[in-house]
Structure 1
Amino acid sequence: MDEVEVVVAHSERATLRVGDVFLKVDADQTNIDVEVEAMALAPIPTPEVLWRKPPVLALAALPGTALGRLGEPSTASPAAWAAAGAAVRMLHDAPLPPWSGGSVDEIASHLDAECEWLIASGTLPSDLVTRNRQVAEAALRPWTPVFTHGDLQTTHVFVDGDKLTGVIDWSEANQGDAMYDLAILTLGHEERLDDLLVGYGTDVDLDVIRGWWSLRSLGASRWLVEHGFDPSSPGCEFDVLRSRM
């Protein structure tokens, strides 16, 4: 029998790998519904759905390795990053999925609540939070919705050499801001943004991308702390916030 590898596990969901099969267990079946439909709609490579028996979804493993990991330098080639950028562009140019994302007002309200918690809890200095809240303002503007992945971390993008082999974890796919996907993919890997844009194109707003780097890091920190992750690890969210000072 193959060894069971725990890929990620917390109170909301868990992902296990057994050989070439990933087993995803999610307490909220809506997430699985979105993931399956989004993969069917996406015009880029995604994992094959092997079977589904709620609350478990079985997916075939993608060949290759992740584009990178937060907190570690990416060893992927510039051409691999460019291939990822080209795939993201193809996704953003595709017809919209049926699920809308959060409104600017909803995102801003959540961000302000998270900033208050970070300061009140003593998790981060108030000047660091305040500065990044100012930077995040650039992302809080109207945008034209596109088909976004919604959680396009480097660990969700797989490459083999210079070729993209697929993208995983589609449960947060929605009609969202194109700059958000680009920001999440380069969070903690700012030096690879130029490589990404070789494939994606240059019609991007760098201030908005920087705004999303700050917004994502501020907005996710409490969840990470409460679910056993460490945003203070080198190269992770707190370092991203400090780089804005």
Structure 2
Amino acid sequence: MDEVEVIVAHSERATLRVGEVFLKVDPDRARIDAEVEAISLAPVPTPKVLWRRPPVLAITAIPGTTLGSLGGPSTGSPAAWAAAGAAIRTLHEAPLPPRLGRAGRSTAALAAELDQECGLLVANGILPADLVARNRRVAEAAFRPWAPAFTHGDLQIAHVFLENDEVTGIIDWSEAGRGDALHDLATFTLGHEDRLDDLLAGYGTDVDLDVIHAWWSLRSLLVVRWLTEHGFDPFAPGCEVDVLRSRM
């Protein structure tokens, strides 16, 4: 009998692996609906949906390995990183999906959320005020007009699999939809800033690096408190707090 491997689990959702099948347990049906829809529309390799019986979605495993993990060493050749960049560009140039994704929140809503989060980080003694203030200023560059693209919305490095320098699949599409393309690029390189040039070589177009830097700060500020409250450690070497410190 195949063992059950817990990939990630917290109070909101869990992902389990049983043999070559991933089971995603999520009581928020809208997230499962968004994932199934995005998988059907995305012009890049994705897992196959086997069945869905809310709150569970079953999908196939993806062959290959990731280019690293947040807080761990980055792996893969420059060609592999470029291949990931090319796949992301293919996604961003696809016809827009009907949904607004996580990367598509309005500037006003995002700024309000960031201000609230920064206040809580300082008031609760989670991060020092000067670190928060510096990164809040860096994050300002993300608040600018942008053309909507088909975005993944949570394009962590652990969500893209490659084999022989080719992308074999991209997973976890529940936050996908219309959004800011640079949000995806920044999320993928978070904690692996030294590989950004390799990624952009495959992405194949000029991007505003100040906006990438802004999204590194913005994303980190928004998730530190949530991570600490859900059993994760943003203070681990190479993780979100180190990303914030690097902006100092």
The TM-score by the shorter chain falls in which range?
Answer: over 0.9
Equivalent residue, structure 1, for 2:167: 164
SS at 2:17 equivalent = strand
Aligned ranges 1:109-120 → 2 under 5 Å: 109-120=112-123
Q: Structure 2 regions of 5+ residues with no counterpart?
A: none
By how many angstroms is 1:102 displaced?
1.1
Equivalent residue, structure 1, for 2:179: 176
Deviations 1:39-67, CA, capped at 9 Å, x for gaps: 10000000011111111110100000122
Equivalent residue, structure 2, for 1:93: 93
Amino acid at match of 2:175: E
CA contact (8 A) 1:47 1:168 kept: yes
Q: Give the TM-score normalised by structure 1.
A: 0.99
CA contact (8 A) 1:76 1:161 kept: no
Q: Distance in 2 between matches of 1:218 and 1:29?
A: 27
Equivalent residue, structure 1, for 2:16: 16
Q: Distance in 1 between matches of 2:41 and 2:129?
A: 43
SS at 2:217 equivalent = helix
Q: Structure 1 regions of 5+ residues with no counterpart?
A: none
CA contact (8 A) 1:77 1:161 kept: no
Aligned ranges 1:20-59 → 2 under 5 Å: 20-59=20-59
Q: Distance in 2 between matches of 1:159 and 1:129?
A: 35
Amino acid at match of 1:35: E
Equivalent residue, structure 1, for 2:67: 67
The alignment covers a number of residue pairs equal to 245
CA contact (8 A) 1:80 1:162 kept: yes
Q: Distance in 1 between matches of 2:134 and 2:128?
A: 10
SS at 2:23 equivalent = strand
Amino acid at match of 2:178: Q
Q: Distance in 1 between matches of 2:247 and 2:105?
A: 25
Amino acid at match of 1:192: R
SS at 1:62 equivalent = coil
Q: Distance in 2 between matches of 1:99 and 1:222?
A: 27
Pick from 219, 223, 238: which aligns with 1:220? 223
Deviations 1:55-101, CA, capped at 9 Å, x for gaps: 11101000001221000111111111100000000000001111122
Deviations 1:117-138, CA, capped at 9 Å, x for gaps: 1100111110000000000000
Q: Distance in 2 between matches of 1:52 and 1:67?
A: 29
By how many angstroms is 1:108 displaced?
0.5
- Using the TM superposition, name which of 99-108 and 26-35 deviates more: 99-108
CA contact (8 A) 2:83 2:167 kept: yes
Amino acid at match of 2:80: A
RMSD: 0.7
SS at 2:83 equivalent = helix
Amino acid at match of 1:125: P
Q: Distance in 1 between matches of 2:125 and 2:133?
A: 13
By how many angstroms is 1:202 displaced?
3.3
4+ residue stretches of structure 1 with deviation over 4 A? none
